[in-house]
Structure 1
C-alpha cells in the first residue's frame, strides 16, 4: 500500500489559522505525507465526511510528573484531544531527588497542586536521583500522548540547599552555581525548560512557600544563564498574581540580555482587577522589540469546585463537618440526605475563618451551582443573577440552604462553581481579550493537578464548545483561530516545530471531531488513583478519533490501548 492510513473528506483546520478546507490526509508511519486530494491507497481509511480534522492539542501547562510514572494513558488530558503535554510547571516536580527527600517532594507537590499524598506515595516508582535519571525513567514508558518535562526550582533548591532551600533562605554564590549546573545538566539531557513559582498561593503541606518564591535576581539570572549555555529551554514562572507588574522588569531583561524565552501566568484577580490590562501593555512593548516574553492565559475562569468530597466547600468550618469528614464517601452521602441533619447543619455558626479560606467559602455572590442536575453541560459563564446569593435572595432563604441542596444533588455528588480568577465582573470578556493578544498562549489547565478542587484539563475541548460555538453572553472567536492557538502556537513556544500543523513532513498528531455533538459533561469525583485516591475528572463527547504519531489512541471516547507516545527531549525540529 502507498500509505498506512488515509483520512478522507474532513473539514481541515490545519493549525495555520487559514480558512478551513475540505480534503484528505495521508499518513505513512508517524508522519503526514500528503494533504489535499489523495488518490493513493492505504492499509486503512477513516471516513471523516462531516467531521472537523485538527492537529492534536499541545497543552503547555500540566502536572503529570508523578502520574507519568504509573499511568500511561495520562487522562483526563488524553480524553480531550491532547497529544503533547508539557509538565513540571510551577516549580514543583520530583527530580533531582535525594533519597531522603522523597516524602518532602511529595508534600511539596501535594500542598501546591492538591494531588493526594497517599496516591503519590504508593504510585511513584522512585528509581532516580538526578534529573537526567528521571528522564531515563520516563523514557522507559510508552504513553498515549507525548510528554515533555521541565526542571523544577523547588526540587533543585531543596537538593542543593537542604533545609535552607526548603525554607527560602537566600542562596549563596556557591548555591547558585550548583543550581545552575543542575539545571543546565537537565536541559542538556532533554528537559524543555525550567519552572519556578513566586505566588503566595503555593505552599507545601508543612506550610512553607515553594522553594524559590523569594529568590533574588542573581539566583534567577544564574539559572537563566544555564538555559542560555544549554542552547534552549523556556523559563516558566507562576507569578504572584496581584504583583505581576513588579516582576516584569527582570523577565524583560532576561529575554533581552540572555535571549531566553520567558513565560508567566496571567489572570485577572479581584484584588487588582485591571492589572491584566497593564500587563498586556507591557507585552505590547516587548512584542515591538520582538523579545521572547509570553503570558500564559486560561481559556476559562480558574474555577474552584466545591462538593462534599472536595478539598474545600462552604461547610468546612461548620461544627457538624467534623462528623462528616471522618465518614466514607458513601456514608457521608447518606448522612447529608437526612433532613434532620440538614436542618441542624445549615443553622450552625461556622468557626472563624480569615483570608483566602473566608473569601472562597463565604463569597456567595461569586458562587454558582455548576449544573442543573439534568445532565446538561455545565455553565462556565453564569450571569450574576445566577449566583447563590441572588438565588437565596430571590427565594427568601439563607444561602446555606441553596448550597446544601446543590451539593446533595446527583446523589450527594453535586458541585458548586467558584470562578476564582478572570471573573471579577461576572463575564469572560477579559479572557476574550487576553486570548487574542499576540504574546499570549493558552495554558493553565493544570492537567493531573488540583484533584479535589479544580478540573480544568478539559479546557482544550472547552475552547471549541464555548468560544467557537456555544458562547451566548458575548462575542465568540473563529474556529481557525482557536485551533491555531492551541496547536501551532503552543507547540512553537517550546520549540516543537515538528507538530501543531497538518502539513506533509510533520508528526501525524490529529483529532477528528464531530463539532455538532462536541460537549463536556459536568465533572465528577473518581477514586482511580493509587491508594484509592480521589480526583475530579471530566470526560468529552464528540471526539470521533484522536491519533498520536499516526496511531488511533482514542476512538469515540474509548481508549484503544495503543501507546505510540513517549518522552520528548528538548525542541523537536523538522526540515519540512
Structure 2
C-alpha cells in the first residue's frame, strides 16, 4: 500500500529531459514507483495532466531570524518551495555572543530591511554556537526543510568583537579561530560559508558591514578550512564589477584553492563596462572545464523596489511636507494626501538628503533627484496582475509623454490608487537596455542556478519570494517581449541544478529513491498576485507578501503541505544537516 499516488501527471523530472506522462507512487516520504502504477494508495491525487515537478529549492533566502518563530515560512511556502537555504550574503544570527545580539539585529535590519523591533521581539536566542542554532531551529516543525550556512559577519564579530565592527584586519590568531569555528559548524550540519562585499550593504546606523573589503588572504584561509573539511559550499555577493573591478579573479582563486563549489550573485548593473558579461561567462566556461565548480546565482526578473505609501520607500519621503506626516497611520496620511492643497505644496518642495539607512535599503532612491528622466523611464505601475517586463511606453516617462502630465503628478496619483495602496516598481538591476535580454541569457547559461529571491528579507521594499512562480509562468508561457525558455529548463533551474550544487543529492528530481518533495501545478492557472502588506511580524511589524495561484498540491517528504494554494497545517519540514547522499 502506497501512502500517496499521483495519477496522470505530466512529469517534469528536474533533469531538463522532456516531460512525460506517468503516475508517481510515494511511500515513507520517498518516491518508490514511477510509470504506470497499479499499487493501491491511502491517498490518490488525480493530476489529470497537471505538471508534476520536484519541489523547488531556494538557495538564497534570509529567514535566519524568522525561523525561530515562524513554522509556515511564508512567502516561500506559497510558491512551491520545499527546501529553503538561509545565512546568505554573510549575514545571520549565529554564532552570536549575548553581548552582540543587538549588533547583529542592527546589521540584519540595515542589510536586509527586516524590522529591528520584530527581530528583537521574535528571536528566541537559544544558542551561541552554530551547532546550538541548528539544534534550536530544528525543534520547530515547519512546512518545508531548511538549511543554514555560516555567515562571515557574525563569525568575524564572534571572534574579533569591536575590532570587527571597526573593520580591522584579522590577525593570524583571529583567522585560526574563525577557521576552527567554521570547521565546527560544518561538522554540526551547516551547508556552507557566505560572505559579501558590496557598498549597498550597511547596518541600521549606516555603517559598512564587518566583512566589507576584508583581505583576500582571510577569504582564502576560510576556504582552506573548508577544503580540509571536505564539506560545504561558498556563496559570495560582491561588487566585483564596480570599485572592486578585478575581484573576479579573487572569487575564482577562492573556488580553486578551497576545492568547494562556489556560487556568486550575478545581476546586471548599468555600470558594467562593455564586454563584462562576456568576460564573466567566458571565465565560468573555462573554470568549470578545468574542474572548478563555480555557478552564477541568477534571477528571473529585474531586482527592484516597490515604492508605496505602505512600505519602506517612496519617492516623496524626503520632502518636508511628507516627512511631517510620515509618522501617522496609513489611512490618515492618505486622507491628507488627497487634499489638493497638500499635493500642490509638496510638489514645490525639494528633496532632502537621503539617510544612510535608506541608501542601504535602496541604493538607487537618490536618483529620483539626480536623474529624474532616467528614473521615470524605469518606473512602472504595478496593477492587480503585476507586470515586471513593461515597455518604455508603459513607464511613467511614457505616460507623461503621452498625456502631457508631469511624472511627479502621475506618480503621486498612482500611490493614492486602491485606497492608498498603489505601487510602482523601479528596476535596479537586470534592466540594462530596458529589457530582459541579459536575464534570458543567464537563464539559458549552463552554469546558472536560480537564486536571489531573498525570501524573508527586504520586507518593506522588495517582494521577490515569488521568483519560483514567476519563472515558471512568465518565462514559459506569458512573455511577449522576447524569447521564452522551456518548462523543463525553468524547472531544472530551481530543482536539480541547486540540489546538485548544494550537495542535496536526495532531492530535486522525480525518480524512484528521491525524496517526495513534489509540486502538482496547473500550469495554465499559475500566476502571482500583487504584493500586499501584512501586519504579522512580531511587535506588529509589517511585510509585503505575494500570493500564488495554480499550486494544486505541494508535498514535503510525502506530506501535503499546501492544497489548492492553501496551507494544510502539515509540518514535515526539518533542518537539513549537511550534504545528503544520492538516492539508492
For normalisation by structure 1, the TM-score amounts to: 0.97
| SS of the residue 1:242 aligns to | coil
> What is the aligned partner in structure 2 of residue 416 from structure 1?
424
For residues 402 and 166 of structure 2, what CA distance do their matches in structure 1 show? 49
For residues 279 and 215 of structure 1, what CA distance do their matches in structure 2 show? 22
Counterpart selection for 2:403 from 395, 399, 413: 395
Whether contact under 8 Å (1:251, 1:293) holds in the other structure is no
**Segment of structure 1 superposing worse, 57-66 or 566-575:** 566-575
Whether contact under 8 Å (1:266, 1:276) holds in the other structure is no
Mind listing any 5+ residue stretches in structure 1 that lack a counterpart?
Answer: none
Q: Compute the displacement of 1:397 (Å).
A: 1.9
For residues 284 and 245 of structure 1, what CA distance do their matches in structure 2 show? 20
**Segment of structure 1 superposing worse, 62-71 or 167-176:** 167-176
**Segment of structure 1 superposing worse, 38-47 or 264-273:** 264-273
Whether contact under 8 Å (1:371, 1:522) holds in the other structure is yes
Cα distance, 1:273–1:11 mapped onto 2, change above 3 Å: farther
> What is the aligned partner in structure 2 of residue 253 from structure 1?
253
Q: Compute the displacement of 1:352 (Å).
A: 4.8
For residues 136 and 360 of structure 1, what CA distance do their matches in structure 2 show? 46
> What is the aligned partner in structure 1 of residue 178 from structure 2?
179
For residues 352 and 142 of structure 1, what CA distance do their matches in structure 2 show? 46
**Segment of structure 1 superposing worse, 152-161 or 279-288:** 279-288
For residues 543 and 435 of structure 1, what CA distance do their matches in structure 2 show? 23
Whether 2:521 is the aligned partner of 1:520: answer no
4+ residue runs of structure 1 moved beyond 6 angstroms?
none
Q: Compute the displacement of 1:256 (Å).
A: 2.3
RMSD value over aligned CA atoms?
1.5
Cα distance, 1:277–1:304 mapped onto 2, change above 3 Å: farther
For residues 578 and 247 of structure 2, what CA distance do their matches in structure 1 show? 27
> What is the aligned partner in structure 1 of residue 304 from structure 2?
303
Whether contact under 8 Å (2:71, 2:140) holds in the other structure is yes
Whether contact under 8 Å (1:267, 1:276) holds in the other structure is no
Whether contact under 8 Å (2:367, 2:375) holds in the other structure is no
Provide, for residues 384-417 of structure 1, a one-character-per-residue CA deviation record: whole Å limited to 9, x for no partner.
1221122123222221111111111111001110
Where do 1:185-334 residues align within 5 Å?
185-240=184-239, 242-243=241-242, 246-272=246-272, 274=274, 275-334=276-335
Whether contact under 8 Å (1:366, 1:419) holds in the other structure is no
Whether contact under 8 Å (1:370, 1:522) holds in the other structure is no
For residues 232 and 323 of structure 1, what CA distance do their matches in structure 2 show? 53
> What is the aligned partner in structure 2 of residue 370 from structure 1?
381
Whether contact under 8 Å (2:92, 2:108) holds in the other structure is yes
Where do 1:463-474 residues align within 5 Å?
463-474=471-482
Q: Compute the displacement of 1:337 (Å).
A: 2.4
Q: Compute the displacement of 1:309 (Å).
A: 1.9
| SS of the residue 2:433 aligns to | coil
For residues 7 and 322 of structure 2, what CA distance do their matches in structure 1 show? 57
> What is the aligned partner in structure 1 of residue 540 from structure 2?
532
| SS of the residue 2:514 aligns to | coil
Counterpart selection for 2:494 from 481, 486, 489: 486
Q: Compute the displacement of 1:97 (Å).
A: 0.7
> What is the aligned partner in structure 2 of residue 91 from structure 1?
90
Whether contact under 8 Å (2:448, 2:493) holds in the other structure is no
Aligned residues: 572
For residues 569 and 381 of structure 1, what CA distance do their matches in structure 2 show? 39
Where do 1:112-123 residues align within 5 Å?
112-123=111-122
> What is the aligned partner in structure 1 of residue 60 from structure 2?
61
Q: Compute the displacement of 1:344 (Å).
A: 2.2
Q: Compute the displacement of 1:241 (Å).
A: 5.2
Provide, for residues 426-479 of structure 1, a one-character-per-residue CA deviation record: whole Å limited to 9, x for no partner.
111101001111112110010000011110010000011110000000000001
> What is the aligned partner in structure 2 of residue 44 from structure 1?
43
Q: Compute the displacement of 1:282 (Å).
A: 1.2
For normalisation by structure 2, the TM-score amounts to: 0.96
For residues 37 and 370 of structure 1, what CA distance do their matches in structure 2 show? 48
> What is the aligned partner in structure 2 of residue 156 from structure 1?
155
Whether contact under 8 Å (1:366, 1:418) holds in the other structure is no
Whether contact under 8 Å (2:505, 2:583) holds in the other structure is no
For residues 312 and 241 of structure 1, what CA distance do their matches in structure 2 show? 27
Provide, for residues 61-98 of structure 1, a one-character-per-residue CA deviation record: whole Å limited to 9, x for no partner.
00000000000110000100000011000000001111
> What is the aligned partner in structure 2 of residue 503 from structure 1?
511
Cα distance, 1:225–1:59 mapped onto 2, change above 3 Å: same
**Segment of structure 1 superposing worse, 217-226 or 359-368:** 359-368
Cα distance, 1:122–1:366 mapped onto 2, change above 3 Å: farther
Q: Compute the displacement of 1:521 (Å).
A: 1.3
For residues 341 and 549 of structure 2, what CA distance do their matches in structure 1 show? 39
Q: Compute the displacement of 1:290 (Å).
A: 2.3
Whether 2:108 is the aligned partner of 1:109: answer yes
Q: Compute the displacement of 1:114 (Å).
A: 0.3
| SS of the residue 1:480 aligns to | helix
For residues 368 and 131 of structure 2, what CA distance do their matches in structure 1 show? 40
Q: Compute the displacement of 1:245 (Å).
A: 5.4
Whether 2:577 is the aligned partner of 1:569: answer yes
For residues 447 and 337 of structure 1, what CA distance do their matches in structure 2 show? 34
For residues 305 and 475 of structure 1, what CA distance do their matches in structure 2 show? 26
Provide, for residues 19-55 of structure 1, a one-character-per-residue CA deviation record: whole Å limited to 9, x for no partner.
1111100000110000110011011101000311100
Q: Compute the displacement of 1:200 (Å).
A: 0.7
> What is the aligned partner in structure 2 of residue 357 from structure 1?
365
Whether 2:557 is the aligned partner of 1:549: answer yes
For residues 179 and 98 of structure 1, what CA distance do their matches in structure 2 show? 14
| SS of the residue 2:32 aligns to | strand
Q: Compute the displacement of 1:360 (Å).
A: 5.3
Provide, for residues 336-370 of structure 1, a one-character-per-residue CA deviation record: whole Å limited to 9, x for no partner.
22333222222322225597432256443344333
Whether contact under 8 Å (2:295, 2:448) holds in the other structure is yes
For residues 353 and 191 of structure 2, what CA distance do their matches in structure 1 show? 45
> What is the aligned partner in structure 2 of residue 447 from structure 1?
455
